Structure 1
Amino acid sequence: MSERALPTTLPAWLARLEAAHPVGIDLGLDRVAEVARRMGLLEGPLAPRVITVAGTNGKGSTVAMLEALAQAHGLTTATYTSPHLLHYNERLRLNGREADDATLIAGFEAVEAARLKGEPISLSYFEMGTLGALWAIARQPPALAILEVGLGGRLDAVNIIDPDVAVITTVAQDHAAFLGSDIEGIGREKAGILRPGRPAVLGSTTLPASVTDVARERQARVVALGEAFRREGEGAGWRWLGQDGGGHPVAVGELPDPGLPLDNAASALQALALVEVSLEEPACRHALASVRLPGRMQWLGPWCLDVGHNPHAAAYLARRLTALPCEGRTIGLIGMLADKDADGVIAALAPAVDAWVPVSLEGERARLADDLADRLAHLDARVWHRGDSPAEAADWLSARLAPEDRVLVCGSFFTVAAVLAWHQADAPSTAPTAEHATRSEEAK
């Protein structure tokens, strides 16, 4: 990043950051850790309690439920996630509210000053954003900081922070260009967030053995779903049984269905119990009944928006849709990036979808609607229309839906962001594009 006059607006800062670093994804912690040291971010705990969350799928829902549960118990919170859907401010939430532009700009300015102090250090868009968010959190430490660790985990910039509890939600194949296709190797990368002597909440019963191997090597305290904690029942009225920081049994019953994966809800409850939050049943019920997460099984009338973009996430989505009655047809509006497993996603969703509208995305990693249509044809799936863009396809489809039909929008953050913006516009033909919808280096 050149040493020119600093931007004064958030859009200008984001444009500067996008052009600053020669590569979008630059794995490794040396550069970001050095700047963090210059900023004083590694001199002590970021907050009195810190929970980090990694995994292939389920990170966002786990973070959202952690935030809702903590606030329902009276804790102040800060959450950091990525990517965002419509506005960069979504990434940093302070006490349940998106950070304002001034807070984000102040963070960028602090990072810029530190990276130029001494030998200049180049930082990627994501690294700058992460350090800026951590600086903002440290300025007014909340009772609980909840940090999503992206991509692999071990080499993600967020992993410079030592958590009190680390959560691993799921491990599946994704980001093959960076993590490879070996599930055991991916598990080791995810387990890179674990710390010696600290609890490791393992939120899936199907994690690869490498995760527990790393936990054992690092002497982390394993708290695994199906062993140290579990859930009983499905849907409304389910029950959670787990343990507190001292290993004593804790239970919460008659919980509502949050509309998000219950394994992730159980993991969130367990993580909070391990940071010595005394779980109260009324607070837990209120939090899980009210939690909302844009782009994850988000219903806007008959439109369901979900950012699932790998076979594991698609299979969960198909199960949820199949369980929900629909008198009409289920139409899949799907747009995906070229480096994602489109065949696997389509195959997982096919039992729940009656007809398809594939759409083209833009950018260097874009996949065209024709490519998706060809893959759908191999499954003898019905293709209604090939959309030039998500918004164009949404326009086309909305004029042809019957009252009893529903639409599933899926395949990418880009696809969901564009259709969400289309829905929010006064007129579909003038729908805005998502502001810096998802940076390529952190596309989930």
Structure 2
Amino acid sequence: MLPTTSRTLDAWLARLEAAHPMGIDLGLERVSEVGRRMGLLRSPLAKRVITVAGTNGKGSTVAMIEALARRHGLVTATYTSPHLLRYNERLRLDGKDVDDATLIAGFEAVETARLDGEPISLSYFEVGTLAALWAIVGFQPDLAILEVGLGGRLDAVNIIDADVAVITTIARDHAAYLGDDLDGIGREKAGILRPGSPAVLGCRTMPASVRREAAERGAPVVALDEVFGWHGTGSGTWQWQGRGPADSTLTLEHLPDPGLPLDNAATALQTLGLAGVVLDEASCRHAFEEVRLPGRMQWVGQWCLDVGHNPHAAAYLAGRLKEMPCSGRTWVLLGMLGDKDADGVIAALASVADAWVTVTLEGERARSAEDLAGRVQASGMDVACQATSPEAGAEWLVDRLAPEDRVLVCGSFFTVAAILAWKQA
């Protein structure tokens, strides 16, 4: 076996994928102990820390908080997951993807601490999270923005105390780990809340458990459409109103549409304000003009790529496409994992889909193109092609697209990543 100091990033990632018996292993005891050994829990991670949890909308909220903070002159560190094309996407330091050397040094620091005493087994995600936190501590940013993984209370990111905690949406996803009960899911997500630190609720329909948990934990609630909100002002602009310094009311006018959910944009503004930033209208406009998030309503020519993989996300996609008239056909290239609600996603997209291409993904959790096609057909719609991979589906489709057609690629990070790589090849 290679010594740790001679491993490349790819070699490290391959080792981490094989090192722990479970890909997802929720719980804080093991990761907290290694974090303690690494000294990550002795002092604040950054001058200010924001954590973002939720079922959908975490990535776009994080991206907009980062863009807004940087436009206000803050040095940022941003941790997200999963990635699309390169693992380095998961950690951004001052707006740039981290380099291989920093990640490798982080993995080596985790490995040293993991073996310092009784050896502790860690999952791929846990090692990646600890390595990212180690890099952030060394970078000393003004603001650290941390996206929580699939859970909340037992997620590795939750070893860090945040100054402001955000919950975007609560919907059914990852049922094998979080269950199907929305109240229970809300309780898990609310596990990131801390006494005295604001709890920003970025969705209008939160389960009652979220507010109960906030009250029990002593986290003051700052909720969408109660403390802050937005409304359209025409010509593709919108207005935000929320809490300013010293509990004043602040209004920002004529903000540009970032091409991402405006509930999340409004949430990002309020979150940054609660983190101590005095919001400047011109800086906010520039941030929303510039922000980009690969794989979220990302247009590449006629192709719209979105990682949405549950009914809630699919319904949002359908709504956005309805706002964009298309004189041709809307094709849906769909690839999903076996543990996702395919029937719910298909039903949510049915109103905008003129033709379907179903594709098979690789791996143990994959769902076959045939399975997806059967579900589409059971809903009364036709499937034009069943392909062995996203790339094969795209190759079949590209020769049949009319200039006025469009393609929605969705269902999984894996589906979007495959098509992004195919487009760049």
Q: Could you tell me how far 1:286 is from its partner in structure 2?
A: 0.5
Supply the distance in 1 between the matched residues of 2:347 and 2:340 (Cα, whole angstroms). 13
Q: Which residue of 1 aligns with 2:332?
A: 332
Q: Could you tell me how far 1:7 is from its partner in structure 2?
A: 4.4
8 Å CA contact 1:244, 1:276 repeated in 2: no
2:100 counterpart of 1:101: yes
Q: Write the mapping of 1:128-147 to structure 2, written as runs, cut at 5 A.
A: 128-147=127-146
2:73 counterpart of 1:74: yes
Q: Supply the AA of the counterpart residue of 1:34.
A: E
Q: Write the mapping of 1:74-93 to structure 2, written as runs, cut at 5 A.
A: 74-93=73-92
Supply the distance in 1 between the matched residues of 2:11 and 2:233 (Cα, whole angstroms). 47
Secondary structure class of the residue paired with 1:365: coil
8 Å CA contact 2:4, 2:108 repeated in 1: no
Q: Decide whether aligned partners of structure 1 residues 245 and 46 sit closer, same or farther in structure 2, where only a CA change above 3 A counts.
A: farther
Supply the distance in 2 between the matched residues of 1:303 and 1:243 (Cα, whole angstroms). 38
Q: Greater CA deviation, 192-201 or 374-383? A: 374-383
Q: Could you tell me how far 1:387 is from its partner in structure 2?
A: 0.7
Runs of 5+ unmatched residues, structure 1: 426-444
Q: Which residue of 2 aligns with 1:311?
A: 311
Q: Normalization by structure 1: what TM-score?
A: 0.94
Secondary structure class of the residue paired with 2:19: coil
Q: Which residue of 2 aligns with 1:15?
A: 14
Q: Could you tell me how far 1:152 is from its partner in structure 2?
A: 1.4
Supply the distance in 2 between the matched residues of 1:154 and 1:166 (Cα, whole angstroms). 12
2:217 counterpart of 1:218: yes
Q: Decide whether aligned partners of structure 1 residues 132 and 245 sit closer, same or farther in structure 2, where only a CA change above 3 A counts.
A: farther
Supply the distance in 2 between the matched residues of 1:17 and 1:217 (Cα, whole angstroms). 37
Q: Greater CA deviation, 254-263 or 376-385? A: 376-385
8 Å CA contact 1:332, 1:355 repeated in 2: yes
Q: Supply the AA of the counterpart residue of 1:369.
A: A
Q: Which residue of 1 aligns with 2:296?
A: 296
Q: Could you tell me how far 1:144 is from its partner in structure 2?
A: 0.4
Post-superposition Cα deviations, 1:115-159, rounded to whole Å, max 9, x if no partner, equal 111111111100000000000000021100000001111111000
Q: Which residue of 2 aligns with 1:189?
A: 188
Supply the distance in 1 between the matched residues of 2:139 and 2:359 (Cα, whole angstroms). 44
2:406 counterpart of 1:414: no
Q: Greater CA deviation, 242-251 or 404-413? A: 242-251
Calculate the aligned-residue CA RMSD, in Å. 1.1
Secondary structure class of the residue paired with 1:82: coil
Q: Which residue of 2 aligns with 1:239?
A: 239
Secondary structure class of the residue paired with 2:247: coil
Q: Write the mapping of 1:356-367 to structure 2, written as runs, cut at 5 A.
A: 356-367=356-367
Q: Decide whether aligned partners of structure 1 residues 394 and 12 sit closer, same or farther in structure 2, where only a CA change above 3 A counts.
A: same
Q: Write the mapping of 1:255-266 to structure 2, written as runs, cut at 5 A.
A: 255-266=255-266
Q: Supply the AA of the counterpart residue of 2:401.
A: L
Q: Which residue of 2 aligns with 1:438?
A: none
Post-superposition Cα deviations, 1:152-173, rounded to whole Å, max 9, x if no partner, equal 1111100000000000000000
Q: Supply the AA of the counterpart residue of 1:331.
A: W
Post-superposition Cα deviations, 1:218-259, rounded to whole Å, max 9, x if no partner, equal 010100001111112277221111113532211211101000
Secondary structure class of the residue paired with 1:333: strand
Q: Could you tell me how far 1:379 is from its partner in structure 2?
A: 1.4
Q: Normalization by structure 2: what TM-score?
A: 0.98
Runs of 5+ unmatched residues, structure 2: none
2:354 counterpart of 1:354: yes
Supply the distance in 2 between the matched residues of 1:175 and 1:247 (Cα, whole angstroms). 38
Q: Supply the AA of the counterpart residue of 1:163.
A: A
Supply the distance in 2 between the matched residues of 1:251 and 1:29 (Cα, whole angstroms). 40
Q: Could you tell me how far 1:289 is from its partner in structure 2?
A: 1.0
State how many pairs are aligned: 424
Q: Supply the AA of the counterpart residue of 1:418.
A: A
Post-superposition Cα deviations, 1:344-385, rounded to whole Å, max 9, x if no partner, equal 000000101100000011110110000011001111112110
Supply the distance in 1 between the matched residues of 2:175 and 2:149 (Cα, whole angstroms). 14
Q: Could you tell me how far 1:8 is from its partner in structure 2?
A: 2.2
2:372 counterpart of 1:372: yes
Secondary structure class of the residue paired with 1:67: helix
Q: Which residue of 2 aligns with 1:154?
A: 153
Post-superposition Cα deviations, 1:399-444, rounded to whole Å, max 9, x if no partner, equal 110111000000000100000100000xxxxxxxxxxxxxxxxxxx
Q: Could you tell me how far 1:56 is from its partner in structure 2?
A: 0.1
Q: Which residue of 2 aligns with 1:387?
A: 387
Q: Which residue of 1 aligns with 2:202?
A: 203
Supply the distance in 2 between the matched residues of 1:217 and 1:247 (Cα, whole angstroms). 23
Supply the distance in 1 between the matched residues of 2:404 and 2:7 (Cα, whole angstroms). 49
Q: Could you tell me how far 1:327 is from its partner in structure 2?
A: 1.0
Q: Percent identity?
A: 71
Secondary structure class of the residue paired with 1:400: coil
